[in-house]
């Protein structure tokens, strides 16, 4: 029960952070959701860092990993919002921004996870 509560707390905190970052940034560029993009990339970096530190052993406890990776990163990243926003670009026929956003999100997301894992190695 304690572990579920840690995930709940982390997820709530991550969701609030996502809202505070995305709300002011998403309207800045027409048809490019900058806030969602940045949250997803930072979330990928964080989950790579957290899971990398967790794999090292005594740096993060299992409960800390649950709080940060499952809870915070799960609440912070926005794949459902990402998918909905991409649907709206397709619906409006904006194939160029759809393609750019999809490729950039996936590529930068994977690179951010790899960088987070590398960064965790450097810290230990």
* pLDDT digits 0-9 by tens, 15-39: 999 999 999 999 998 889 999 999 9
Q: Is residue 30 part of a domain?
A: no
> Is 29 inside any structural domain?
no
- pTM of the full predicted structure? 0.82
Domain for residue 62, yes or no? yes
Annotated binding-site residue numbers: 74, 77
Residue with tokens 């909905």: 84
Give how far Cα 33 sits from Cα of 52, 57, 116, Å.
29, 37, 23
Residues (pLDDT < 70) of the chain are none
Asked whether residue 31 is assigned to any structural domain, the reply reads no
Quick count: other Cβ atoms within 10 Å of Cβ 122? 7
For residue 43, the enclosing domain spans 2-23+36-123
Task: Please check whether residue 71 lies inside any domain of the structure.
Answer: yes
User: Binding site for Na(+), residues?
Assistant: 74, 77
The tally of domains found in the chain comes to 1
């Amino acid at each position: 029960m304690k572990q579920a509560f840690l995930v709940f707390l982390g997820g709530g905190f991550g969701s609030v952070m996502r809202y505070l970052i995305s709300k002011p940034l998403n309207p800045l560029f027409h048809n490019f959701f900058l806030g969602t993009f940045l949250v997803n990339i930072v979330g990928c970096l964080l989950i790579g860092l957290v899971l990398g530190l967790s794999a090292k052993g005594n740096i993060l406890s299992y409960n800390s990993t649950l709080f940060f990776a499952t809870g915070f990163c799960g609440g912070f990243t926005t794949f459902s919002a990402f998918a909905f926003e991409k649907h709206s670009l397709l619906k409006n026929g904006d194939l160029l921004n759809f393609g750019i956003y999809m490729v950039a999100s996936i590529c930068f997301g994977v690179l951010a996870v790899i960088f987070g894992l590398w960064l965790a190695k450097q810290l230990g």
